[in-house]
Structure formats: C-alpha cells, structure tokens
C-alpha cells in the first residue's frame, strides 16, 4: 500500500507567493458615473495539488487557481485581516471602578493632624485595598472595519501561500468510510496514511461534514474540521497542513478565484 509523504513545510514568509512576479493584471474599463479610473492588480497563482484516496494512494491531480495580493503587499493584507478577525471577537466588556464609583469612603478615616500618619481623606483611595482603580479598563468597542474584498483577498492569499509551500493536498470524500459509526482510531490511521502527523496542527475543509466524521475527529486536539461557513484566516495560518475535499476545492476556485474577482468588479462598475 502506497503512503503519501508530504514535503517539509516552509514558513509563511518564505512561500514563493510573496516573491513571484505578477501574472495577471486586470484593468476595469472607465466608469461613466464619474468614478476615477484605477488599475486593479490581482495575481492569480495556478497550483496543482495531489489527490489522495482514503488508503493514501495518489489517484490524480487537481488545480487550484486563487487570487492573491502582490508580493509587496501580501504580508500587510494578511496581517490586517488576522488583526481584524481577532479584535472583532473581543467583547470589550472589561470594566473597573474608579475611586468616585466605589461604594463607601464618605467618612474621613481619621483626623488630618496629630496622628503621626499620612493624611488620608477616604478609604477608597487607589492606595488602599478595596479602593478605586487608576486607569483601569473601561467598556469599549474593539471592532475594526475591513472591506469584504480585502478580507477575502487576505484569506485567499494565505491559502495560496500554503499551497505554494506544498503544505496542502486534496483527499477523496471519505464520509462513507465512517458510515458504520465514529472511529477516532481509524481517522488517526487515515491521517498517517495521508502523511499527516496527528501531533501537528492540520485543517480539513469540507463542504459538508457527516456526523460520524465529526464525532471521529472531535477528540483530536490538533485537528480543525471546517466548512465554508466556518472557514477563517486564523485556523489557516495556525495549521501546518491544509486538507481539502474535491467539493471544497471547487468552492475555493469559485469563491476566491480570479474569475470571481473580475465578475464582482464588473458588477460594481455596471
């Protein structure tokens, strides 16, 4: 039985996507509504991914053609996307009380003079336990606005970077293999046949996750099983290997491919 062994992983910054030259430049026609003419630079990186069966044998190849940011702005686009995602998850409800808001402390604890002690006007001073907090956190809105296209570009750039570094591959649909019931041991064995180390972080992207598959992998702490609805930038960057199914690969090409970006530009111009 042949076993697929993935190539050594590369760092996010060392991926060839940040250093290769631009291949496609799309120039939208002038808009009659008075919008300034602009040149929209979109890079398209066509990559070929191996397709593995459930037994770990290579059964073919699949193409992934995603739009990505130019090399000089790719890192900043991805950085802005991940910072926006993380800050938008903050609730911003941390709150402390100042000395004016803490209850008590209305009476002067002792007289001003003739005690030999430092003067004190309230027991709720920040210098005393139970007193107010100086410059403590207050409720605030941490959210950052990021354009939808910029967020999509950051996500597709991160995926294209992992693909360029040979950290991604495609597997055939394996839901039927767990039709008899959830088996975590069998799922771990399948990961090893695909060249994945169960102790290293990996991300699976499936359009639909069967219940038995979810139950089989939920006890593997290093594995993230995502769908197009839950796909996010943090899990992509945090994972060492990316695994797609064929329907998921078609979704990525249709949602984050160059053709999808050009269609959106044409709709906005029209």
What mean pLDDT do residues 60-73 have? 91
pLDDT of amino acid 166: 85
Long-range contacts of 172-178 (CB under 8 A, 24+ apart): 172/51, 172/52, 172/53, 172/54, 172/59, 172/245, 172/246, 173/245, 173/246, 173/247, 174/54, 174/213, 175/208, 175/210, 175/212, 175/213, 177/54, 178/210, 178/212, 178/213, 178/216
Residue 195 has pLDDT above 90, yes or no: yes
The angle that helices 74-88 and 148-164 make with each other, rounded to 10 degrees, is 120
> Average model confidence (pLDDT) for the chain?
83
If one compares 35 and 62, the residue with the highest pLDDT of the two is 62
In this predicted structure, what is the pLDDT of residue 21? 37
Nearest to 206 by CA among 232, 186, 225, 187: 225
| pLDDT-wise least confident of 139-153, 183-197, 210-224, 255-269 | 255-269
For residue 27, pLDDT beyond 60: no
Encode pLDDT of 72-131 as tens digits.
Answer: 999 999 999 999 999 999 999 999 999 999 998 888 989 999 999 999 899 899 999 999
For residue 159, pLDDT beyond 60: yes
pTM for the structure as a whole:
0.73
Q: How many CB atoms lie within 10 A of CB 156?
A: 27
* pLDDT at residue 23 is higher than 60: no
**pLDDT at site 243:** 96
Give the pLDDT score at 105.
Answer: 82
What is the model's pLDDT at position 43?
A: 62
């Amino acid at each position: 039985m042949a076993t697929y062994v993935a190539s050594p992983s590369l760092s996010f910054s060392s991926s060839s996507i940040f250093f290769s030259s631009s291949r496609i430049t799309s120039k939208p026609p002038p808009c009659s509504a008075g919008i300034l003419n602009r040149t929209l630079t979109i890079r398209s990186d066509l990559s070929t991914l191996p397709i593995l069966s459930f037994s770990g044998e290579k059964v073919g190849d699949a193409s992934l053609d995603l739009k990505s940011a130019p090399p000089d702005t790719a890192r900043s686009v991805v950085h802005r996307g991940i910072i926006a995602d993380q800050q938008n998850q903050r609730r911003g409800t941390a709150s402390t009380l100042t000395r004016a808001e803490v209850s008590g402390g209305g009476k002067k604890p002792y007289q001003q003079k003739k005690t030999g002690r430092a003067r004190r006007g309230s027991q709720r001073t920040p210098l005393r336990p139970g007193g107010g907090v100086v410059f403590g956190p207050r409720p605030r809105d941490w959210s950052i606005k990021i354009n939808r296209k910029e967020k999509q570009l950051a996500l597709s750039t991160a995926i294209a970077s992992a693909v360029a570094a040979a950290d991604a591959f495609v597997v055939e649909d394996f839901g039927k293999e767990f039709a008899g019931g959830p088996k975590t041991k069998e799922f771990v064995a399948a990961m090893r046949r695909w060249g994945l180390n169960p102790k290293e972080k990996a991300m699976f992207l499936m359009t639909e996750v069967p219940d038995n598959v979810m139950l089989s992998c939920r006890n593997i702490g290093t594995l993230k099983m995502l769908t197009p609805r839950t796909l996010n930038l943090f899990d992509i960057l945090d994972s060492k290997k990316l695994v797609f199914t064929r329907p998921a690969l078609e979704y990525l090409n249709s949602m984050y491919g160059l053709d999808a970006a050009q269609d959106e530009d044409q709709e906005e111009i029209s």
